[in-house]
Amino acid sequence: MADVTPLDQAHAAMEATPGDDAVRLRFYDRLAECELFLMLSEEVAEGDQISPELFDLGDARYVLVFDREERLAAFAGKPVPYVALSGRLIAEMLAGQGIGLGVNLEVAPSSILLPDTAIAWLHDTLSNQPREVKAAIAQVHAPKGLPEHFITALDGKLATALGLAQTAYLVGVTYDTGARGHLLGFVGAVPEAEGALARAAGEALTFSGIEAGAMDIGFFRHADPMTPRIDSVGLRFDLPQLQHPAPQQPGIPGGDPAKPPKLR
C-alpha cells in the first residue's frame, strides 16, 4: 500500500538500527498509542466480551491487528468482524494469556510478529509510573540534563491528556533530605485522573530510555504556595481542555479505559 503510517516509520527506524534501544522503545510507544483493528472470529456481542481470531504459528498462538482498516481487509480478502482498540488496551487484554501479536502481517512494511513475552513486557512497562513526591521540597530551579527527545515525548503524552489537568511544569528540585532530581508538577488536575497522568509521564520516561527514578510527580492546586514557585522556573506544558462534553459510548468494547475488553 502506498501510504506510510507512523507505525511503518517507527518500525523502519527500528529495523534500520537494531542495536539502538531508544529507537526500539519508540516503536513500542507508537504501537501502544495506535488505534489498531483487531480481527475477530465473530461479531461483538453486548458487554465487554470479544472473540479474537486466533492463529497457530508453530507452537505459538497469535491474534492479528492492523493500523488501517484497509490493511485488515487486504489481509482477510473478505469482510471480517473486527474491533478498534488502542495498542495499550490490547496489551492489557492479552497479558498473561500466552498469546502473541501479529502486526500488519503481509500487507505493510511494518509487518512483524511479537511473541507473548514481548506483549507481557509491554503491558508491564505501561503499568510503571513515577512515584508521587512525599519529601518536602526545599528548592526549585530550572530543569537541566534531560534529553530533548524526552521533552518531546512528554509533550506528546500530555497533549493526549484532554481535560485531565490545566497545566504541568517540569522543574529541577532539591528536597529537604538533600536529594536532587526532577519533578513534573500538575496544576488543577482532576482528582480521578491523577493515576492516568502519572502513567502518561512514566511512559514518556520509559520509552525515552530514562530510569523511572529520574523524575517524581506532584499534584498542586492553584492556591498552593508551591504553584507560583514552579511557574517561575519550570518548563510549562499547557494541557488541552474539553470544549464540549464527550459523547458517551457505553456499548463499545474498550470505550471505558478502566474496563478493557476481555477474551472470550
Residues 10, 123 within the same domain: yes
Residues 91, 150 within the same domain: no
Domain that holds residue 199: 137-238
Instruction: Give the global pTM.
Output: 0.71
Last residue of a domain, one of 73, 97, 127: 127
Residues 144, 56 within the same domain: no
What is the mean predicted confidence (pLDDT) over 52-63? 91
Residues 100, 27 within the same domain: yes
Residue 70 lies in a domain: yes
What is the mean predicted confidence (pLDDT) over 154-167? 92
186 DSSP β-pair partners: 168, 219
Report how many domains make up the chain.
2
Residues 115, 213 within the same domain: no
- CA torsion sign for 36, 39, 43, 46 is negative
- CA torsion sign for 79, 85, 88, 91 is negative
- Cell numbers for 263: 477474551
Q: What is the pLDDT of residue 169?
A: 97
Residues 148, 120 within the same domain: no
Residues 183, 234 within the same domain: yes
Residue range 229-263, pLDDT digits in tens: 999 999 999 999 987 554 554 455 555 555 556 66
Residue range 175-197, pLDDT digits in tens: 988 889 899 999 999 999 998 89
Residues 141, 122 within the same domain: no
- Cell numbers for 83: 474491533
Residue 261 lies in a domain: no
Residues 107, 19 within the same domain: yes
Residue 152 lies in a domain: yes
Residue 246 lies in a domain: no
Q: What is the pLDDT of residue 129?
A: 65
Find the CATH number of the domain harbouring 11.
Answer: 3.40.1350.90
Residue 173 lies in a domain: yes
Last residue of a domain, one of 73, 94, 127: 127
Q: How far apart are CA 185 and CA 143, in angstroms?
A: 12
Quick one: pLDDT band at residue 39, thresholds 50, 70, 90?
Answer: very high
Residues 45, 116 within the same domain: yes
Residue range 94-135, pLDDT digits in tens: 989 999 999 999 999 999 999 999 999 999 888 776 666 667
Residues 143, 118 within the same domain: no
Q: How far apart are CA 105 and CA 27, in angstroms?
A: 16
Residues 200, 123 within the same domain: no
Find the CATH number of the domain harbouring 165.
Answer: 3.30.429
Residue 252 lies in a domain: no
Residue 1 lies in a domain: no
Last residue of a domain, one of 127, 152, 176: 127
Percent of the chain's residues with pLDDT above 70: 86
Residue 244 lies in a domain: no
